Amino acid sequence: MMRKTAYTGTFFLCLLINIALNFRLTIPGWILLILHFIFPAISIWWFVGYMGAFLLYMLIWQLVWHLIGRIGASAKEVPPPKELNPYSVKGNTMPLNRRGPADIEEKQNRDGEN
């Protein structure tokens, strides 16, 4: 289970880190900018459009992860399952080397009388 914290202002910090880590995705945009200066027939709007699409992609991807985190943090804790193991020693205080068939019969007689 994830740890819940009181500090929730990390969205834009995570967005900036995500953009920095995925900076390699901007390489085609930089190539378009260089081509614009080499061949003036290529519009600079190709560069602006690519970088805008990159930022929009990063923002949407960060929003998806932010919503997943909020949904996961708001989930109720599941109670531990009931112990169904008949060989569990949690309720039995008698040492294991002292148990025998007589103890089993006595327990069955007690359960049958109640």
3-class secondary structure for 53-111? Answer: HHHHHHHHHHHHHHHHHHHHHHCCCCCCCCCCCCCCCCCCCCCHHHCCHHHHHHHHHHH
Rg (alpha carbons) of the chain, rounded to whole number: 32
**Where do the structural domains in the chain lie, given as residue ranges?**
11-74
Identify the top-confidence range among 44-48, 65-69, 104-108: 44-48
Predicted local confidence at residue 106, as pLDDT: 62
Could you tell me which of 22, 24, 25 has the C-alpha nearest to residue 14?
22
Predicted local confidence at residue 44, as pLDDT: 93
What gap in Å lies between CA 45 and CA 36, rounded to an integer? 9
